[in-house]
Amino acid sequence: MAQTKPSTRERLLDIAEAGVLAKGFGATSIEEIIAEAGISKNGFFYHFRDKNELARALLQRYLDTEEALLDDVFSRARELHGDPLHSFLIGLKLLSEMMADLPNGHPGCLVATFTYSERMFDRDVRELNRNAVLIWRARFLKMLEEIASIYPPRDHVDLRSLADMISNTVEGGIVLSKAIGQPQILSEQLLLLRSYVRLLFEPAEARTALAS
């Protein structure tokens, strides 16, 4: 499995992804992708029937990577602490640190890009995009339900909304970081989210004074 192919297809996806995140899908031309890849136009169309199929492949690959990353982060967090609340807080911390360590900041989220270009794609791609957000929701909801079953929340909150808040924080954080060119915003926002989760669920006796 290890780097058997620096395959052309993967290189095309890499180049396309960078372009899409920097300029938007509609503004990323096949011409420039093949120019950078050093391939002919027909070479491109050998791999992807049309631009929509490029979009599909791009999004699918992106979602698989993200899912693996989230699996990794939160299972590592769970190994560090068996309690659902504390492992969740650790997971958010890890995520925040991971985002802070990206050298040029987060390059952008394809789900957001595609959401802001929905009219360009066919049903398949839009459905894929929609499902991605619903999968994130389900993932975080499951963790929050486990937490809430042990720690009663301090305020009336809908756990489903709260689950969305994680995705929300990431998506918003990426936009703001990119917009003003301050990569650290994303990780700061994740820490604020963590602070909220803590205030919501952590029992008062565990928070004597303002201890971190």
* Residues of the shown chain interacting with its own copies in the complex, contacts defined by CB under 8 A: 21-28, 108, 111-113, 115-120, 129-130, 132-134, 154-158, 161-162, 164-165, 167-173, 175-176, 178-181, 185, 188-189, 191-192, 195-196, 198-200, 210, 212
User: Which alpha helices (DSSP H) does the chain contain, by range?
Assistant: 8-23, 30-37, 41-47, 51-80, 84-101, 110-115, 123-150, 159-180, 184-201
The C-alpha angle with vertex 151 and arms to 145 and 152, in degrees rounded to 5, equals: 90
CB of 36 to its own copies, least distance (A): 14
- Considering only residues 38 to 77 of the shown chain, the ones binding DNA according to CB under 7 A are 38-43, 45-47, 49-52
| Residue 203 binds which entry of its own copies, DNA, none, CB below 5-8 Å type-dependent | none
C-beta closer to DNA: residue 42 or 104: 42
* Of the residues 22, 23, 31, 142, which one makes contact with DNA according to CB under 7 A: 31
C-beta closer to its own copies: residue 8 or 133: 133
| Residue 8 binds which entry of its own copies, DNA, none, CB below 5-8 Å type-dependent | DNA
Residue 175 is encoded by which pair of tokens? 């936009």
| Residue 43 binds which entry of its own copies, DNA, none, CB below 5-8 Å type-dependent | DNA
Backbone torsion region of residue 153, taken as left when φ is above 0, otherwise alpha when ψ lies between -120 and 50, otherwise beta: beta
Task: Label each residue of 76-138 as H, E or C.
Answer: HHHHHCCCHHHHHHHHHHHHHHHHHHCCCCCCCCHHHHHHCCHHHCCHHHHHHHHHHHHHHHH
Interface residues toward DNA, by CB under 7 A: 7-9, 28-32, 38-43, 45-47, 49-52
